[in-house]
Amino acid sequence: MNTFPWLTALGVLPLVGSIIVALLPKSRPSLAKQLALLIALATLGLTIAMALQFDGGSAEPFQFTESYSWIPAFGISYSVGVDGIGLVLVALAATLVPVVILAGWNDVEGDSSKGSGSVKGYFALILVLETLMIGVFSATDLFLFYVFFEAMLIPVYFMIGRFGGPQRAYAAVKFLLYSLVGGLLMLAALIGLYVVSANLTGTGTFDYLSLVGLDIDPMTQRLLFAGFFIAFAIKAPLWPFHTWLPDAAAQSKPGTAVLLIGVLDKVGTFGMIRYCLPIFPAASVWYAPVIIAMALIGIFYGAFVALSQQDMKRLFAYSSMSHFGFIALGIFVFTTIGESGSVVYMVAHGLSTAALFLTAGFLMQRRGGSSMLGDYSGVNKAAPVLAGFFLFAALSSLALPGLVSFVGEFMVLLGAFQRYMFVGALATLGIVITAAYVLRVYQKSMTGPLASGLEGMADLKGREIAALVPIALLTLVLGVFPAPILNVINPAVNQLMTTIGATDPPTTLTTSTSAEGTLQ
């Protein structure tokens, strides 16, 4: 294997960048932006270089591994590495950061209201967040993961609290408290897990691979699982832990919302698939019915709330909640197709959220930041390019076949159907409501006669188009040819299935007499 410390380099690059950006003089905001964009693009380039070296057929559980002892007394080490799932999410984060920087170029300009931060501060925070996101997806030591998981709150808290809308303080504190509650539960469970590992093996450890191999007794598993799961369910967010999301999304800048929902929230679902399932397989199966019920409720609850929501940002937040229901559903049906679909869905949702929030952000910028649907009408007439991107984002959100979101959604539904026929069929009904609320937004804002006050509205400019094109292109290309991501996801999913000891249900025709697929 090559010895270049890819992941550390990936993490350090934006961190160093953010320090430099933060040290720049306040009087030169454009230099800060350019530098931030450059660093983000360099990180993306490094990620692509790393991804090209990734070996999909490797038998190793993690690649690009590094491990250095950190606090040996507690078996804590700095160890990183990625499997296919981690890799695509790292790539997602590295892709969205430059896009967000480009799209948010002028978002914090002239924002001199009391308590808001400087331009360079915003971009420095984005870069810090990128480091932490890369860290959280590539940590293979649970303590390290926890550190990244909690540290992520800090830049996001400031991004909402200093650069957001009028209610930003409320939203930021709500976000922080929710996340801290989850984080504390997880910390308790983490310590519990350490103690259990100490009892079982003699030496306590936080090393992921050692913990996966542990044979924890079912009762303990359930307790520890709950600690981890609630933290992840708050982050994801699943019903009923979701109420921080609409506030946070509505009060933050579009770019913040993209990173928050598009990448950060994926840590929740990523955590479920990476930590909950393999470390606590028995508890996962035991809790699965409850979680599937939560996911189903979330799918319909989010969709129905979005159906007559008047505030676009809140609407997109609720639609994300509905989509997170699909992701969680795919994870907890324990089928290869479902797990794989969930990961694809995470990527797809990251892209479609980015497209939706950024396009809506460009729209709102042209009307003094109003996000109320009632303020818009007939935009297609004045700004056809904007309307076109908006429609594309909407279609990507409703999982139009041919786009990557369809691949993810259909795989999740098929995986669910394979295990629990009625759950799959019921969840499929969600696609109708999704279409209804997504198209309602498009109809209200883009069609009809032009709303007064929007006359002479400018269409998208070069920079804005440049930010949206990569997302649109990825959505389309991966929808027609998803092999690049499926090739790296599938081996990781197969490994996961082996680890948790689940097998797919056989087709009814070939083995109608033999037993059903098993979970344990």
* Footprint on this chain of another protein (rule: CB under 8 A): 174, 177-178, 240, 242-244, 301, 304-309, 335-337, 340-341, 378, 380-381, 385, 388, 395, 400-402, 406-407, 410-411, 413-414, 417-418, 421, 424-425, 428-429, 431-433, 435-436, 439-440, 442-443, 446-449, 480-483, 486, 489-490, 493-494, 504-505, 507-510
Measured between alpha carbons, how far is 463 from 473 in angstroms, rounded to an integer?
16
If the CB atoms of residues 108 and 273 are measured against another protein, the closer one turns out to be 273
By C-beta, is 228 or 334 nearer to another protein? 334
Identity of the residue, 350 or 430, whose beta carbon is nearer to another protein in the bound complex: 430
> What is the distance between the alpha carbons of residues 39 and 98, in angstroms, rounded to a whole number?
9
Q: Which is nearer to another protein, 19 or 469 (CB)?
A: 469
Task: Between 8 and 490, name the residue whose CB sits nearer to another protein.
Answer: 490
On whether the CB atoms of residues 345 and 432 are closer than 8 A, the answer is no
CB of 335 to another protein, least distance (A): 7
Q: Which is nearer to another protein, 309 or 320 (CB)?
A: 309
Cβ at position 400, least distance to another protein in Å: 6
Between the alpha carbon of residue 495 and those of residues 215, 336, 413, 498, the distances in Å are 18, 10, 21, 5
R_g of the chain, CA atoms, integer Å:
22
For residue 449, which phi and psi values (nearest 5 degrees)?
Answer: -70, 150
Which of 10, 327 has the CB closer to another protein?
Answer: 327
What minimum distance in Å lies between the beta carbon of 504 and another protein? 5
Rounded Cα–Cα distance for residues 318 and 323 (Å):
9
Residues whose CB is less than 8 angstroms from the CB of residue 104 and which lie 6 or more positions away in sequence, other chains included: 122, 126, 253, 254, 255, 361
Nearer to another protein among residue 170 and residue 286 (C-beta)? 170
Rounded to a whole number of angstroms, the minimum distance from the CB of residue 215 to another protein is 27
Q: Smallest distance, Å, CB 379 to another protein?
A: 11
Closer by beta carbon to another protein, 19 or else 425:
425
Cα distances from 500 to residues 24, 222, 269, 292, 489, in angstroms, run 50, 15, 17, 18, 17
Q: How far is the CB of 512 from another protein (least distance, A)?
A: 8
The answer to whether the beta carbons of residues 91 and 47 sit under 8 Å apart is yes
Q: How far is the CB of 411 from another protein (least distance, A)?
A: 6
Question: Under 8 Å CB-to-CB from 340, ≥6 apart: which residues?
Answer: 411, 415, 486, 489, 490, 493
Give the nearest distance from C-beta 507 to another protein in angstroms: 4
Nearest approach in angstroms of CB 420 to another protein is 11
Closer Cβ to another protein, 23 or 473, answer by number:
473
Q: Which of 226, 347, 241 is nearest to 279 (CA)?
A: 226
Q: How far apart are CB 73 and another protein at their closest, in Å?
A: 27
What does the block give as tokens for 426? Answer: 């019921």
C-beta closer to another protein: residue 120 or 174? 174
* Cα–Cα dist 80/483, whole Å: 26
Distances 445 to 11, 269, 382, 467 between C-alpha atoms, Å: 40, 32, 12, 22
Helices assigned H by DSSP within 366-420: 379-382, 384-397, 404-419
Alpha-carbon distance 496 to 332, whole Å?
A: 12
Minimum CB–partner distance for residue 98 and another protein (Å): 22
Dihedral over Cα of 371, 376, 379, 382: its sign: negative
